Structure 1
Amino acid sequence: MNAPEIALFGEWNTANLGDRMIHRRAAEFFRSCGWRVSSYALSSLVPVAEPGSAREPPPPRGRAAARLPPGLRRALRGVRQEMRMLRLLPALARAQAIAVGGGALLSDVNLHFPQSLAVLTRAARAQGKPMLCLGCSAEGAWSPAGVGIVRRFLGACALIAARDAATARRVAELLGRSVPVFGDFCLRESDFADAGGQRALRPALAVNVSCPPAVAARVQHEYEDALVEMVRFSRAGPAAMHAITVFTTGTAEDAGPARRVAARLASGGADLFLPQSVGELEALLRSATVVVAGRLHAFVLALATRTPAVGFSPAPKLRNFLGSLGLERYGFGPDGGAELARLIGADRSALWNEQRDAIRRAPLWAVRSRIHGLLRSAASAPAAQRGLLLAEAHRALA
């Protein structure tokens, strides 16, 4: 029997290395459930090359529409998304299900994602396709228009499991029923199965600098100041770091702050690294003994390479996610620089062991296992029963 096809939507064709890694891991997950995967970019509603292909997806180019007033831009984009979906309908007709995930795809951001979710919801209903929403989060407030679109999209989904507990609570308020936490696709239980400790390395600190949206300039300035002071502190004492690398995870908005922080630390020999591929980022993380992460995927990918990490960000997104893993004590804001520095100076093997053990105990693995079983059963079922199995998936998961 041929494997059924699932249309997988996410932010795959950007320069963000975390999103590229989500694409790779999400495709692996659905394939392991017995599905063939066709990938599409949620923002542009176009097919995207399979993860691991020789050609990395280029970042989207800026357009003149970005200079238009926000209201006019939203209106034009709504029309454009309708036209794009019309072109995509024949490809969607070949799929037996539609999945959205993961990343911050339930966020509003001036209706950027909701407009795509709206046309996707209508297309799925018109074609009778079951929809899934796995590993997604919502960052920031929803506008009145955005909250209605997100509610309709989630209400049409057969199966929902959020990326973090904070998003799960927001979704539960919208739908009037609880939803489980799936975690981030980049996390795999197999990455933490080994009981061994962290490998011994020459002390090296990798510092990920971020500039989250909607963070006030004053808060960003305080964050960068605290980051510089923390790094300077880490160079002192018996556990001093011998190498410092300031880096980003490919997000364009982070490059300027990273350059500023690296320049302030240059006199102490700090290097600046702006990786262009997931492979380059993973190589850096493996070379570090500790990672200070401003972005969620700097933290997640550090752990996946068996490198302990601590979160330090001016926005709550990373700290919300860490709470879902039982790692909330490793997440800090701009006022936590002193405590963060002390944690970095602690025994690094013990730090890794604590984090690995906490992640292994996280409830999300049981949730993910049940979802895997549901999707695998649906994939192996006769075509006439597959849609019914997926349509009832949320009841089976509950």
Structure 2
Amino acid sequence: MGRRAVQGVCGTARGDRSAGSMSVRLLNVKFSPNVGDGLLVLCMEERLRRSTSDVSSIDLAGRTGYRSHDGRRELSMRILASMPPVVRPRIARAGLDAKLAFGLRRHYRDAIAGIGSLVLGGGNLLSDQDLNFPVKIAAALEEADRARARLAIHGCGVSSRWSRSGREMLCAALAANPPVHVAVRDRASKQAWDTFFASAAGREAVVVNDPGVLASTLYRFDDPRPRPDRPVVAVGLMSDFAIRYHGFASLSAQGLAGWYLALIAELTARGFEVCVFTNGSPEDRRFAKDLWASLAGRRRPVHVRLADVALPVDLCRVVAGAGAVIAFRMHALIAAYSYGKPLVALKWDPKVEAFLDAVGLAGDQVDVVVSSPSDAVGILASVVDRGVDHARRRDVLSRAGSEIEELAAALSRSP
């Protein structure tokens, strides 16, 4: 279905917009405890400010800082995960509607009032896990429509798994205020967007690079002192609960911890120094704390350390200081790519495979369910020996910056 044909479904563009022509608000989860989400948003903000100075973000959960979260998020996730499928959607929707009624919708309304443009992005926002993003995004888009703000979508991941209610509420919001620009971060996301939302939005998606690849242009660090005797491998931890909650693998805490412990032992035995880290999510931090205690009980090797990651810059510092990275979390891997580090992805979510495919690293992943830690270290060794294609990496970073400039141009030329 071509773009012109799709636009014909919804008619012509809307009329005049707010006078705040180039005031831009990004709608995302900038202050998520998973600081990888914040990292990609900071990359988008910095590049957009080269075109317009009035740029800031609206956090979909109503957070106002990186430390403005508590344990309620994880508790809610665990409660929902324990519910029978027949009642889980209704309970989730009731809780989200209550949040909107008791302040979250007002948070959106106040932040959107008087702006020129609202940009949804980036991150895996167009997904439907217990209706969380569909309900929040639809409410925010309703406020943008009320404020006569232009809408654009950039750098988002789009899931292929949708509930009927989640899809319908987003389609209604998109049809009411069709976006002037839709750019998603991989081919799988484009296929999902074009299948589920292009008709309602009046526009098919184009594919762009994830804005997070610009991390190395945002935070620059002095090169660490070379340690050829003990090269550093950064091992990113993700909890078994987080993996199961998103429905991609059945891993027990004991099984995953055992795999990590064996990986760390294998790396240190082969002469590597290991830096263990998380992306900051509370469930991952708790898992890391328990794993660290297990290491202590096993007479932890002296060449293993635990990094504290609480801010996006912390994540970048860990990755930039490593010689190679092994991780589940997507933006730990994207940061590794940005800083030119050899990487091995631990398989769990198709979005990770889509990123690897986009940058030519489709084979550099390990399935912890079927592969041993020794296999993982073997793949890492081959990746390190092969080296990084820095010419391609520089091209990816250059194109990511240009794509954000194209977003700014689309906002400026739309009525």
How far has the Cα of 1:256 moved from its partner?
3.4
Q: Which residue of 2 is the match for residue 348 of structure 1?
A: 384
CA 183–76 in structure 1, closer or farther in 2 if over 3 Å, else same: same
Q: How does 1:43-58 map to 2 (within 5 A)?
A: 43-44=61-62, 48=64, 56-58=66-68
Instruction: Show the counterpart of 2:268.
Output: 235
Stretches of structure 2 lacking an aligned partner (at least 5 in a row): 1-18, 81-86
Amino acid at match of 2:100: Q
Q: Displacement, 1:387?
A: 3.4
Aligned counterparts, 1:19-168, within 5 A: 19-44=37-62, 48=64, 56-60=66-70, 62=72, 66=76, 70=88, 71-81=90-100, 84-86=104-106, 88-139=108-159, 141-155=161-175, 156-168=178-190
* Residues 288 and 100 of structure 1: CA distance in aligned 2, closer, same or farther (over 3 Å): same
Tell me the TM-score normalised to structure 2 length. 0.75
Alignment of 1:125-274 (within 5 A): 125-139=145-159, 141-155=161-175, 156-174=178-196, 175=198, 178-188=204-214, 191=217, 200-201=226-227, 202-211=230-239, 212=243, 213=245, 214-218=247-251, 222-237=255-270, 240-241=271-272, 243-266=273-296, 267=299, 268-269=301-302, 270-274=304-308
Check the 8 A contact 1:326/1:358 in 2, yes or no: no
Residue segments in structure 1 that go unaligned for 5+ positions in a row: 50-55, 380-385, 389-398
* Mapped partners of 1:189, 1:209: distance in 2: 20
Give the drift of 1:98: 0.5
Partner Cα distance (1:2, 1:149) in 2: 28
Decide whether aligned partners of structure 1 residues 182 and 189 sit closer, same or farther in structure 2, where only a CA change above 3 A counts: farther
- Shift of residue 16, structure 1, vs aligned partner: 1.7
Following superposition, the deviation at residue 330 of structure 1 comes to: 1.6
Q: Report deviation, 1:203.
A: 1.0
Change (3 A) 1:220 1:97: same
Secondary structure at the counterpart of residue 38 of structure 1: strand
CA separation of 1:144 and 1:346: change in aligned 2, threshold 3 A:
same
Cα shift at 1:227: 3.5
Per the alignment, residue 296 of structure 1 pairs with: 330
Instruction: Measure how far apart 1:150 and its partner are.
Output: 3.1
Alignment TM-score, normalising by the size of structure 1: 0.78
Select 2:414's aligned residue among 348, 366, 387.
387
1:365 shift after superposition? 5.5
Superposed CA offset, 1:34-61 (max 9, x none): 25113211123x6x46xxxxxx442245
Aligned match of 1:393: none
Q: Measure the CA separation in 2 of the matches of 1:7 and 1:264.
A: 44
How much has 1:312 moved relative to structure 2? 1.3
Q: Deviations over 1:318-374 (max 9, x none)?
A: 2222222222122222134444311322473742x23x3443455x96476255135
- Give the letter for the 2:402 counterpart: S
Residue-by-residue CA offset, 1:41-100 (whole Å, 9 max, x unaligned): 1123x6x46xxxxxx442245289946974245224225425633464354231101011
**What letter corresponds to residue 13 of structure 1 in structure 2?**
F
Structure 2 SS opposite 1:19? helix
**How far, CA to CA, are the matches of 1:280 and 1:222 in structure 2?**
28
Instruction: Give the CA deviation at 1:221.
Output: 5.2
Distance 1:315 1:63, change over 3 A: closer
Percent identity at matched positions? Answer: 23
Per-residue displacement from partner, 1:199-225 (whole Å, max 9, x unpaired)? 843412211011323345436655444
* Local SS of the residue matching 2:211: coil
Q: Return closer, same or farther for 1:15/1:21 CA change in 2, 3 Å cut-off.
A: same
Question: Contact (CA 8 Å) 1:3, 1:36: kept in 2 or not?
Answer: no
1:18 pairs with 2:51? no
Select which of 248, 272, 279 maps to 2:313.
Answer: 279
Structure 1: distance between partners of 2:261 and 2:254: 11
RMSD (Å) for aligned C-alpha atoms: 3.5
Provide, for residues 173-210 of structure 1, a one-character-per-residue CA deviation record: whole Å limited to 9, x for no partner.
Answer: 11266422223222129759xxxx99843412211011
**Secondary structure, counterpart of 1:218 in structure 2:** coil
Tell me the matched-pair count. 365
DSSP-derived class of the 1:328 partner: coil
